[in-house]
Amino acid sequence: MSARTDRRPAVLAMSAATAAAVLGTDARRRLLDLVDIDPDLVLADLRSEAARTALARAEVMVTGWGCPPIDAEVLRSAPRLRAVVHTAGTVKHHVTEACWERGIQVASAAAANALPVAEYTVAAVLFANKRVLRTRDDYARDRDRGTDWQAGLAGAGNYRRRVGIVGASRTGRRVIDLLHRFDLEIWVSDPYLEPEEAERLGVRPASLPELFAACDTVSVHAPLLPDTVGLVSAELLAALPDGATLVNTARGDLIDQAALERELISGRIDAVLDVTSPEPLPADSPLYTLPNVLLTPHIAGSMGNELRRLADFALDELERWTRDVPFLDPVRPSAWDRTA
């Protein structure tokens, strides 16, 4: 592929593996149509001679997983840089204060990445309320030798069950939207959620203690910030009703891991965990083999062909920028302190 020269100059900054996974043939073709770029030049080091040469003329940087920090030194090599378009979710790993001081416009594909996380969460909630984990093991043990499944699952099901959402974040709101398709009662705990907004979302606002004590399933979607580490405490976990399920697709450090392990080892509650603390867990962690735990290796976000959605969303934003149209989903410095 050869770069066109009648477009604004751009550069790719991410790992080579990310570029190969996210930017397929169609995405690269569209990239060439939108900007003047060498799609084979992928910068994983923004301080190399090749990087300085490319950055000297770039007006927009298309970033991805593996992009180094765009700090003041890098920006001195990029005097014309005016925008960063990220092909994944959070930009906190590479967008720095120096970018905001420059007035650089930033967009990310966080909205696109929220959808598969929300889909995973909804599947987990529906399976949890149906008691799929425990029923699987009972079925394997009994081989359906006259088992009365109606009696055994008398308390199971998804009709008018209470689902608690911790954090009305971007992903939390996608989960809420998807859950409204089912006969569920949705509770939300978020200190920034105003009553009018809760009414618009069709949810019941609640404090964390109220939510944990009342809900059959609780799903965590709060951002990991200094004041949210350990947000789901031992006291909150103890407040969960017997047989409740905790779902975490956000960050492991939001939960008191030791307290969670104690509850799960006791068998009192269930959990669906796509993230843990640490990540991955030690090889001898009991969570790998507990029958009441579904443990996955941080796969709820975009995987496989879902990466194409990230590229499409980011390229849509890039096209808006080339036409001097505001980003659909800009990252704003004013929200920096309360977003992931």
| Rounded Cα–Cα distance for residues 26 and 301 (Å) | 22
Question: Is 251 tagged catalytic?
Answer: yes
Q: Which among 173, 221, 251, 263 is annotated as catalytic?
A: 251
| Rounded Cα–Cα distance for residues 245 and 95 (Å) | 36
Q: What is the CA radius of gyration of the chain?
A: 23
Q: Which among 82, 204, 298, 309 is annotated as catalytic?
A: 298
Positive or negative, the CA dihedral 25, 31, 36, 42 is: negative
Question: Is 279 tagged catalytic?
Answer: yes
Among 254, 123, 245, residue whose Cα is nearest residue 181: 123
Q: Which residues are within 8 A (CB) of 197 and not within 5 positions of it... i.e. 6 or more apart?
A: 168
Torsion of CA 111, 114, 119, 124, to 10 degrees: -160
| Rounded Cα–Cα distance for residues 267 and 177 (Å) | 31
Backbone angle region of 10, left / alpha / beta, with phi > 0 → left and psi within -120 to 50 → alpha: beta
Q: Which among 194, 199, 235, 279 is annotated as catalytic?
A: 279
Please list the active-site residues.
251, 279, 298
